[in-house]
Amino acid sequence: MSDTIFHKILAGEIPCAKIYEDDNLFSFMDAFPQSKGHSLIIPKCFATDLLDADPASLQHIINFSQKLARAQKQALQADGIRVVQYNGEAAGQSVFYYHMHLIPMWAGKTLGSHGKGAADLAELRDTADAIRAALTN
């Protein structure tokens, strides 16, 4: 399968609010965020899900997820970060390209519904800029 939305984002066919990129992974803002700063991390080497992913790629993603979570907390003053990952349709996976969600959380605030209308790309890019700046600190 090479026609997922994530393939198209990596190919530059669909615009996104990029946070970070290296030789192994790509991180960007979720276009349908559940909270401000809801971010995704995907490997550049395609894998359908966790069970299909290369262990070295997973290790790189986990290491980066810690850095990204710290940057989200700093940039957005989040009280916590929810890390979510689905494997298979029965588990709730809807894009069949391995990805990890990092969702900033605030005490007393409930999450929005995922997929209920796209966020404004300019606002997503502003948030991505703030998170990216915190990554370098």
Distance between CA atoms of 20 and 105, rounded to whole angstroms?
21
pLDDT score for 97 = 97
Distance between CA atoms of 108 and 87, rounded to whole angstroms?
29
Percentage of the residues of the chain whose pLDDT score is greater than 70: 97
For residue 13, pLDDT over 60 is answered with yes
pLDDT score for 115 = 67
DSSP code of residue 108: T
Q: Can you give the pTM of this predicted structure?
A: 0.94
pLDDT tens digits, 41-69: 999 999 999 999 999 999 999 999 999 99
What average pLDDT score do residues 111-122 get? Answer: 81
What domains lie within the chain, and their CATH numbers? 5-135 (3.30.428.10)
Distance between CA atoms of 128 and 126, rounded to whole angstroms?
5
For residue 112, pLDDT over 90 is answered with no
For residue 1, pLDDT over 60 is answered with no
Closest CA to 68 of 31, 107, 47, 41: 41
Active-site residue list: 99
Q: Checking DSSP bridges between strand 100-105 and strand 80-84, what pairing results, if any?
A: antiparallel
Percentage of the residues of the chain whose pLDDT score is greater than 90: 88
